[in-house]
């Protein structure tokens, strides 16, 4: 219960999903704690935000999340949202690649970095005969055995050749990470592919072994269904929440003490007091710089973007930590969501969406056929398109005037999808400096940061820069930060 005299006082700085997950974990595991949540925006959620407009469900940043790590689904369960978790429709699980101005099907079985089926690779119009031959050589090119990092581009070209990299891997990875492939760290982003190379000598061999294993499991399940323990519903790789992912934010907000939520305020200072407690200083966004407030806390969780965090820890004179955090580059991204009448779209939209190789010189990174993936997102007879742009490839899209960005991206989408009519509605969101770039050296940087933080048991950090940008990873980071301060702060007040 809040306001108990000896209750633990914990400050959470940043009200994105990382900070919210931390606050919710604290609420669940230490109900008596007084949690103060400070958020610069006038709403919670950070980049995560859903807008509902005339029956269209518009996700302004996060579109869906993966279920291969459990933290997203687990949070939904704890918030009572499980029955509204929906998976991508099985109608058409196809991805397109824009190539020479036309949408071509990604070879069936191509999984982010490697093919799993020979025939679709052999017949795809996306690769020349030489490109295909070079890709097939991956099967016999000896695998690296060490753990040394390399760029995503270096890895992909080394294994599968330039064509597969430029035409398949680069657009697929850019559509998620919006990053410069020459700088993006393999080990920080997709380390499982190096693991596959190490274990099987080849990605193709590894993929085929994984498939054989899955088939074996499926056969065993068929033979002995009674022995197959299934807990709860089975999910596809990606899921979302019906009614919008903002319901996660609302669910957490409803479980926190509203008096402890400070919106529209910036934390501007942090100071460690003798004895280990912390002074946190903040001011309202519209207040003069000298009109600040300060309060004392037993523990502090910083869950802002790393560039903001660098400024906060600098005020505590943690110079090395500030350098580590401040050195993480970020890019901005743009999401334009537009609705059309179905009959105005010439393309059959028989897939989940499309990604665009850099070689196309098109400002679109990815196009998502939003209501083909999740039919509840748009009324019958309409189409909801989500256009993703910006990133390391097109940084200017974040700074150009909004109307100009919309015009450019809608024209390009209309070319790809043969759209003839005007949009029924358009919603644009731009996220400047929101996407951390996990460049080469990132893992070492984070390892150093974690080491420095060991000296401060009641200070923890969370955020999308720590391990991975995805929602489940941010939730895990928030929960781990909360666990750390709970384990260490308790003795201070006892």
Ligand X SMILES: Cc1cc2nc3c(=O)[nH]c(=O)nc-3n(C[C@H](O)[C@H](O)[C@H](O)COP(=O)(O)OP(=O)(O)OC[C@H]3O[C@@H](n4cnc5c(N)ncnc54)[C@H](O)[C@@H]3O)c2cc1C
Which residues contact ligand X by CB under 6 A? 13-19, 38-41, 46-48, 61-65, 266-267, 303-305, 308, 312, 333, 335, 431, 434-435, 463-464, 469-471, 474
> Is the CB of 312 or the CB of 356 nearer to ligand X?
312
Give me the least distance between CB of 388 and ligand X, in Å please: 7
Beta strands 330-341 and 425-436, pairing class = antiparallel
> Is the CB of 18 or the CB of 253 nearer to ligand X?
18
Residues in a beta bridge with 340: 383
> Is the CB of 18 or the CB of 382 nearer to ligand X?
18
> Is the CB of 155 or the CB of 238 nearer to ligand X?
238
> Is the CB of 22 or the CB of 126 nearer to ligand X?
22
> Alpha-carbon distance 494 to 492, whole Å?
6
Give me the least distance between CB of 461 and ligand X, in Å please: 10
Give me the least distance between CB of 232 and ligand X, in Å please: 21
Give me the least distance between CB of 125 and ligand X, in Å please: 29
> Is the CB of 303 or the CB of 339 nearer to ligand X?
303
Give me the least distance between CB of 394 and ligand X, in Å please: 13
Select from 378, 401, 398 the least CA-distant residue to 389. 398
> Is the CB of 18 or the CB of 151 nearer to ligand X?
18
Give me the least distance between CB of 463 and ligand X, in Å please: 4
Give me the least distance between CB of 204 and ligand X, in Å please: 28
């Amino acid at each position: 219960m809040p306001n108990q005299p000896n209750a633990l006082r914990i400050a959470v700085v940043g009200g994105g999903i990382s900070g919210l997950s931390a606050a919710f974990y604290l609420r669940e595991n230490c109900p008596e704690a007084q949690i103060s949540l400070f958020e610069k925006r006038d709403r919670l959620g950070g980049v995560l935000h859903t807008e509902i407009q005339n029956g269209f469900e518009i996700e302004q940043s996060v579109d869906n999340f993966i279920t291969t790590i459990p933290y997203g689904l687990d949070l939904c369960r704890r918030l009572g949202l499980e029955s509204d978790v929906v998976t991508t429709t099985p109608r058409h699980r196809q991805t397109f690649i824009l190539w020479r101005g036309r949408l071509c099907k990604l070879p069936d079985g191509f999984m982010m970095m490697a093919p799993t089926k020979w025939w679709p690779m052999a017949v795809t119009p996306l690769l020349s005969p030489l490109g295909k031959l070079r890709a097939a050589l991956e099967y016999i090119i000896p695998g690296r055995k060490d753990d040394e990092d390399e760029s995503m581009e270096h890895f992909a070209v080394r294994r599968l050749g330039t064509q597969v990299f430029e035409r398949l891997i680069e657009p697929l990875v850019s559509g998620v990470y919006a990053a410069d492939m020459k700088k993006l760290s393999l080990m920080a982003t997709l380390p499982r592919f190096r693991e596959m190379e190490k274990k099987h000598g080849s990605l193709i061999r590894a993929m085929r072994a994984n498939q054989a294993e899955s088939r074996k499991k499926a056969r065993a399940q068929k033979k002995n269904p009674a022995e197959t323990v299934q807990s709860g519903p089975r999910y596809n790789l990606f899921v979302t929440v019906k009614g919008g992912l903002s319901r996660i934010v609302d669910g957490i907000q409803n479980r926190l003490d509203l008096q402890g939520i400070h919106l529209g305020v910036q934390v501007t200072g942090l100071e460690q007091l003798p004895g280990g407690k912390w002074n946190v200083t903040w001011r309202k966004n519209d207040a003069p710089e000298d009109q600040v407030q300060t309060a004392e806390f037993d523990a502090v969780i910083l869950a802002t973007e790393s560039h903001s965090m660098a400024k906060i820890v600098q005020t505590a004179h943690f110079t090395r930590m500030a350098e580590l955090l401040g050195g993480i580059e970020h890019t901005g991204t743009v999401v334009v969501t537009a609705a059309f009448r179905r009959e105005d779209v010439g393309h059959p939209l028989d897939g989940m969406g499309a990604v665009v190789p850099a070689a196309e010189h098109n400002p679109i990174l990815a196009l998502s056929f939003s209501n083909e993936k999740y039919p509840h997102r748009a009324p019958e007879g309409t189409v909801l398109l989500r256009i993703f742009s910006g990133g390391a490839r097109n940084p200017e899209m974040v700074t150009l005037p909004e109307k100009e960005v919309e015009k450019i991206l809608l024209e390009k989408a209309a070319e790809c999808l043969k759209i003839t009519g005007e949009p029924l509605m358009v919603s644009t969101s731009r996220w400047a400096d929101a996407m951390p770039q996990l460049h080469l050296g990132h893992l070492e940087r984070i390892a150093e940061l974690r080491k420095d933080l060991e000296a401060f048991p009641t200070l923890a950090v969370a955020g999308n820069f720590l391990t991975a940008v995805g929602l489940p990873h941010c939730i895990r980071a928030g929960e781990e930060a909360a666990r750390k301060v709970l384990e260490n702060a308790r003795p201070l007040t006892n």
